[in-house]
Structure 1
Amino acid sequence: MVEVKPEELKMIKESKLYYPDPEKVKKSVLGSVDAFNALLRKSWEDPESFWADVASELYWIKPWEKVMGGKMPYFKFFVGGITNPCYNLIDRHLEQGADNKLALIWEGEDYQTKFYTYRMLYSEVCKFANVLKGFGLQKGDRVAIFLPNLAETVIAVLACYRLGVLFNTVFSGFSVRALRDRLINYEPQVIVTADGGYRRGREVPLKSKVDEAIEGMESIQAVVVVKRTGSGINMKEGRDYWWHELMAGAHLECPPEPMEANEPGLVFYTSGTTGKPKGIVHSSVAFVVNNYVYAKFHMDHHPNDMFWCTADIGWLTMHIWGIAGALSNGVTTIFYEGALDYPRPDRFYQIIDKYRVNKLFTAPTAIRMLMRYGESWMESYDISCLDVLSLVGEPFNPEAWHWAFEKLGQKRMYINNTWGQTETAGCPLAGAAWVTPMKPGSCGIQFLGAQLDVVDEDGKPVPPETPGNLIITRPIPMMVRTLWREPERHIREYFSQVEGCYFTNDAAIKDRDGHFWVTGRIDDVFNVAGHRLSTMEMESAIIECEGVAEAAVIGVPDPIKGLIPVAFVTLRQGYEAGPEMEQAIKDKVVENIGKIAIPGTIYFTPVMPKTPSGKIMRRLLKEIVVGGEIKGDITGLEDIGTVEQVKAIVAAKKARG
């Protein structure tokens, strides 16, 4: 169990509700608090009827035979129902006369822009779907997308949806090793990448990483390359093709592939507690249906919304909000390629002002970054258009909440802090913009159709305001269906702890108002600036460094990123601690994972606190770094003296600065 500090528990108990502006309530999607509360009750008490009503708002080739079937982990929704996700994201709006409505705005870090109406986006998606068909791909085949936030990235995702081709997007900041690990497990037939991308003014090579990562992989039939930077790259004849050349000869029409609601659509890799990335398999149609209704109420989406999700396409957040949630609701979605504070800290405000963004989805990390820069950077811009701010990724501290509410939103903005995981897809803990009260720091209430609880180690519910394990007791359509090629691991990691329930591996508290507060991870996975990283994956990378005998990684609080990795390293005999060794370790982490996983601090220690079985007690390491003292029981350690040794090493390094 993750320990909750007394002051944190006191803050939760004393937290107050902030009620929305009554005039804004009237303009919300449902128009009243009572109407939403009635819908919420219906979704909990009669979920079959609720989900049937939601699905009926979308297009179906063939209606479902049964709304809900089976129980966790073997559940289904809209059983036998046939439709296509891409049709519901694009074609459905064309049928309603939205041909010339703006669907997608792309802005590059270098200020280049592209604009696509729904009709233009439809044509581009059909063309690329025909390109994929030209390589022989059909429903159930696999595409990997290794791109930054480009317009072509959205087009590639939607084309896969149109064909029923499984897709996986990989974070473009990952190293060759991290990319290769995922590709070897996934075995794609086609990879979509670019010659390069831009990040903080520097060109990031992508095609060269792909060339190295796929060496010896027999599954690869083709590599499609977007020309973004124009840099010289190697193009292998018969395997590598330029995007623009393929698109020039592609047909403008491509019929959507009929998909049963529960057929797999996307595979997303997330770090696991064993260090081996897990391929989370989501359905295609049910994923879109669920995120359609969640986005509608989380964001209070209206047809003329200008929506910006700041996430990278390599994280499921962008798919949930920037693609499925936004396009299913027929709004305009913005894709921005670069860093939010480049070339100056006002880039964030500049984009909001330029496009009149009224709905924003970002991470608490971004808000804390803006706080650090100060309010002076926003003074030159009119950001009064902001109406709803939603967040996910890591805990959103009350101080940052109040800054966002008072400074960013001028007390006129609804703040919707949410909770979700790659495995849950969207956010089953959240508020409905303008119709549910807000609480600074909380993740909101259990949302439409979702049922969650906080339980003890035996799986029994705990009283309000009591820390426990967060579980999901009823499935929702967008939840994980299995792990790619690891069905046994799927059951073991999520459904073996509490019978019939999904175990989140998160600790939480439910307060007396029904709001949930997620306080930390139970397992060895934590979020750094919204990116989920595995301690085992980082430790494995460090141990590969020459001279390292043992490593332990913990996540410690950081005012900007939420958590940052801190490493404890024991060296082999004959190797010395120092700046060169520190740099070698950091280089190895970058090589294997990426810059996001670089340890903020490295402590070299000849000993580690361990149990008699040899397990390193990372909890104790975290207590030493964060508080300088051990509060938990240490009687079970093999050698209690190791605690004092480690404390002295940490104190000495902190003293040196």
Structure 2
Amino acid sequence: MEKPLLEHPLVHPPAPLSAAAPVTPDEAARLLALDPPAYWLDIARELTWTTPPDTALDGTLGDFRYYPGATGNVSVNCLDRHPSERTALLYEREDGHRETWTYGALTDATARFAAALQDLGVTKGDRVAIYLGNVPEAFIAIHACYRIGAIYSVIFAGFSASAVRDRLVDAQPKVVVCTDATLRRGKAVPLKATLDEALRGLHVPHVIVARRVDPAASLREGEHDFHALLQATTRRADPVPMEANEPGFIIYTSGTTSKPKGLVHAGLGFLAGAYANVKWALNLQPSDVYWCTADVGWLTFPIFALVGGLAHGATHVIYEGGIDTPTPARPYALIERYGVNKVFTAPTALRMLRRAGDAALAPHDLSRLDLISLVGEPLDPETWHWTQGTLGAGRVFVNNTYGQTETGTAWASSMVGLTPTRPGSCGHPLPGYRARIVRDDGQEAAPGELGALTLTEPFPCLARTVWGDHDRYVQTYLTDHPGAYAASDAALIDADGQLWVTGRLDDVMNVAGHRIGTMEMEAALITHPAVSEAAVVAQPDDLKGAVPVAFVVLRGDAATHDGFAGELAEAIVQGVGPIARPARVIVTPTVPRTRSGKIMRRLLRDLLVTGDVSGDLTSLDNPDAIEVVKGRIAQA
């Protein structure tokens, strides 16, 4: 990575956040230096247990147990232990429908729904598929599973029937919980109809449908209405004590050429990691009004809302729909209406707001907002500075983080109020994690040197296996770097200990013998005032091995002109160096994205090299973008 990015000055947390920090700076330094097992025992003491742990770690990567023999229940930690009158959820739907749930009401509904599941024959270890959007029923159903020891699997509401079917076949659930539909960008997305198609020829004993969009939506014979079932159940299920390493849920990652992997996370192990993650990355307090913009189908939402967020007892804003509907000002209106002071979102969402222009922001009072934390994609410094200076009026701390579905947390972050960040970086490894950057020869990389990102010690929230296929887990994550978990991401750690994740290892290109990550090229493009988003991919080249090709999405009011592509290419040269000059710059109105907003660079690379896309497309949110990009490649 070139020096300009690494030489951005460190940004220290503002005084108000430092004054409210959960520990002193000296204590933070002690925790960072502590051996991971000792640290995780410290964290365990902040949780509620039936049988508290007296041992931290037994085993090593690939076969380990954290808190062996300890028992407890996730739902108790997230619901029962908080004051019943405190507001838990402030729910709003795209069409303006709103609901308010207290912790007491949420706990009661969860305990009764858990009893209803038991009455349907669900016992500890049975699977329950959750095919829901960001609705209160998702909180109820998931914590009902935690309460009785059922293993839940969230299926993303944007998946096709084929993708839903694959996950049902793999997990073999006893129950599927869904809604009739969900709203997104002014349209009703028919979840129940998609589920019906996915279930053809399959046997799932019970389907429970929450009729939220159309109260009169028809049910098939034998299917259950969520709210009628809940109303008819007066018994409250007692929380089942679970051993700390017993499975809590399965979450599927999209594969590139093979079937999705069902990653298995331990229930209480995940709780410990998520609780600690929220403590440091958000310093979430019971008095906070907090909005996590992620979708329940991606692990960000369970980490930072469903489990980690609720474990801290804050009030959560829950939004169902497209956050840019009916206009990009919708997020500002939500923050103002509910007095949100902390937000967890994705760099893509911030780039969307920046692309829309500052006029949408002007009428809204965001004066309570003091923290924006992020995860999902590399964050360019330009967007960081716009967020801090324009959206946040200079007072907001921007905390970019890094994690994966497999790690169960965003384990690299600033410790909010305690440690600094550098614009564009992902903070530093949090207490309890040991990161190592590895060169191609297997040796540890020097500070500032790009290499493969690994984690060398286990932690409670690391996925334990692939459902039904432990060999696949070992082959995927534990063979490339023996004795370490391989993230398959390219990264470096700078001289100040800040982590920079530049993208997938596949996205690191070797141009005439020079290893270049895509993040620095994309960051250079976004410094151009006309550019809203950029994605750089490698195109094979007979002479140089590979050359970069840039895809650029313009800001709403920007226009091209003769020489514009050359102007953008020069921005990369100025920001990175002549070796990074792109072979082509392709201006396009859209790029393929996941539902969570990530640019699918793999598909851009496919379109560039072969003219078509391949592999798993289940997470693609905007299939129309494929033809649009194809046309722009042909014109460029």
Normalized against structure 2, the TM-score is what? 0.83
Q: 2:220 aligns with which of 225, 231, 236?
A: 236
Residue pairs, 1:605-644, within 5 angstroms: none
Contact residue 73 and residue 500 of structure 1 kept, 8 A: no
Deviation at 1:302, TM superposition (A): 1.5
Contact residue 431 and residue 444 of structure 1 kept, 8 A: yes
Structure 1 letter corresponding to 2:75: C
2-structure distance, mates of 1:48, 1:329: 22
Contact residue 29 and residue 301 of structure 1 kept, 8 A: no
1-structure distance, mates of 2:353, 2:253: 28
Question: CA separation of 1:202/1:478 partners in 2, compared to 1, >3 Å: closer, same or farther?
Answer: same
1-structure distance, mates of 2:59, 2:552: 41
Farther off after superposition, 59-68 or 152-161? 59-68
Partner of 2:206: 222
Partner of 1:35: 27
Partner of 1:73: 62
Question: CA separation of 1:130/1:524 partners in 2, compared to 1, >3 Å: closer, same or farther?
Answer: farther
Partner of 2:76: 87
Question: CA separation of 1:601/1:230 partners in 2, compared to 1, >3 Å: closer, same or farther?
Answer: closer
Secondary structure at 2:214 match in 1: coil
Secondary structure at 1:130 match in 2: helix
Partner of 2:560: none
Contact residue 12 and residue 511 of structure 1 kept, 8 A: no
Question: CA separation of 1:473/1:384 partners in 2, compared to 1, >3 Å: closer, same or farther?
Answer: same
Question: CA separation of 1:84/1:244 partners in 2, compared to 1, >3 Å: closer, same or farther?
Answer: same
Q: 2:189 aligns with which of 183, 198, 204?
A: 204
1-structure distance, mates of 2:608, 2:330: 42
1-structure distance, mates of 2:620, 2:197: 16
Contact residue 589 and residue 595 of structure 1 kept, 8 A: no
Structure 1 letter corresponding to 2:322: A
Contact residue 40 and residue 56 of structure 2 kept, 8 A: yes
Structure 1 letter corresponding to 2:48: Y
Residue by residue over 1:334-391, the C-alpha shift from the partner in whole angstroms, topping out at 9 and shown as x without a partner, is 2100111111111100100011111100000000000011111111111111111110
Structure 2 letter corresponding to 1:73: G
Unaligned runs of 5+ in 1: 1-7, 528-534, 536-553, 605-648
Secondary structure at 2:60 match in 1: coil
2-structure distance, mates of 1:183, 1:558: 37
Structure 2 letter corresponding to 1:18: V
Contact residue 273 and residue 408 of structure 2 kept, 8 A: no
Secondary structure at 2:116 match in 1: helix
Residue by residue over 1:13-57, the C-alpha shift from the partner in whole angstroms, topping out at 9 and shown as x without a partner, is 322201222343122222x33332222222xxx333321121111
Partner of 1:335: 318
Contact residue 177 and residue 593 of structure 1 kept, 8 A: no
Structure 1 letter corresponding to 2:334: I
Contact residue 443 and residue 518 of structure 1 kept, 8 A: yes
Partner of 1:284: 267
Residue by residue over 1:555-590, the C-alpha shift from the partner in whole angstroms, topping out at 9 and shown as x without a partner, is 967678563432657999xxxx9xxxx9xx89x998
Structure 1 letter corresponding to 2:19: K
Partner of 2:241: 258
Q: Verify: 1:386 aligned to 2:369, yes or no.
A: yes
Partner of 2:37: 48
2-structure distance, mates of 1:127, 1:290: 28
Partner of 2:621: 595
Partner of 2:140: 155
Question: CA separation of 1:502/1:333 partners in 2, compared to 1, >3 Å: closer, same or farther?
Answer: same
Q: 1:304 aligns with which of 275, 283, 287?
A: 287
| Percent identical residues | 38
Q: 2:9 aligns with which of 9, 16, 19?
A: 16
Contact residue 489 and residue 503 of structure 2 kept, 8 A: yes
Deviation at 1:650, TM superposition (A): 8.2
Partner of 1:563: 599
2-structure distance, mates of 1:341, 1:391: 18
Q: 1:118 aligns with which of 103, 114, 127?
A: 103
2-structure distance, mates of 1:179, 1:345: 30
Residue by residue over 1:302-358, the C-alpha shift from the partner in whole angstroms, topping out at 9 and shown as x without a partner, is 220111100111111100001111111111112100111111111100100011111
2-structure distance, mates of 1:27, 1:470: 32
Q: Verify: 1:443 aligned to 2:479, yes or no.
A: no
Residue by residue over 1:205-238, the C-alpha shift from the partner in whole angstroms, topping out at 9 and shown as x without a partner, is 11111111011112x0111000111176442212
Deviation at 1:172, TM superposition (A): 0.7
Structure 1 letter corresponding to 2:65: K
Normalized against structure 1, the TM-score is what? 0.80
Contact residue 555 and residue 566 of structure 1 kept, 8 A: no
Residue by residue over 1:243-300, the C-alpha shift from the partner in whole angstroms, topping out at 9 and shown as x without a partner, is 1110111125210011000000010000124331110100001100111112011101
Question: CA separation of 1:555/1:261 partners in 2, compared to 1, >3 Å: closer, same or farther?
Answer: farther
1-structure distance, mates of 2:109, 2:140: 7
1-structure distance, mates of 2:279, 2:16: 19
Q: 1:138 aligns with which of 123, 128, 131?
A: 123
Q: Verify: 1:425 aligned to 2:408, yes or no.
A: yes
Partner of 2:162: 177
Contact residue 85 and residue 161 of structure 1 kept, 8 A: yes
Structure 1 letter corresponding to 2:33: R
Q: Verify: 1:654 aligned to 2:631, yes or no.
A: no
Residue by residue over 1:177-226, the C-alpha shift from the partner in whole angstroms, topping out at 9 and shown as x without a partner, is 111111111111110111111111111111111111011112x0111000
Q: Verify: 1:269 aligned to 2:252, yes or no.
A: yes
Partner of 1:294: 277
Contact residue 567 and residue 601 of structure 1 kept, 8 A: no
Structure 1 letter corresponding to 2:445: V
Q: Verify: 1:485 aligned to 2:468, yes or no.
A: yes
Structure 2 letter corresponding to 1:83: G
2-structure distance, mates of 1:556, 1:142: 42
Secondary structure at 1:192 match in 2: strand
Secondary structure at 1:415 match in 2: strand
Deviation at 1:400, TM superposition (A): 0.3
Residue by residue over 1:606-639, the C-alpha shift from the partner in whole angstroms, topping out at 9 and shown as x without a partner, is xxxxxxxxxxxxxxxxxxxxxxxxxxxxxxxxxx
Question: CA separation of 1:508/1:569 partners in 2, compared to 1, >3 Å: closer, same or farther?
Answer: closer
1-structure distance, mates of 2:236, 2:342: 32
Partner of 2:19: 26
2-structure distance, mates of 1:216, 1:234: 20
Question: CA separation of 1:555/1:73 partners in 2, compared to 1, >3 Å: closer, same or farther?
Answer: farther
Deviation at 1:600, TM superposition (A): 4.0
Structure 2 letter corresponding to 1:62: T
Deviation at 1:154, TM superposition (A): 1.1
Residue pairs, 1:469-618, within 5 angstroms: 469-523=452-506, 563-564=599-600, 565-566=603-604, 568=606, 594-596=620-622, 599-600=625-626
1-structure distance, mates of 2:233, 2:30: 49
Secondary structure at 1:25 match in 2: helix
2-structure distance, mates of 1:472, 1:463: 16
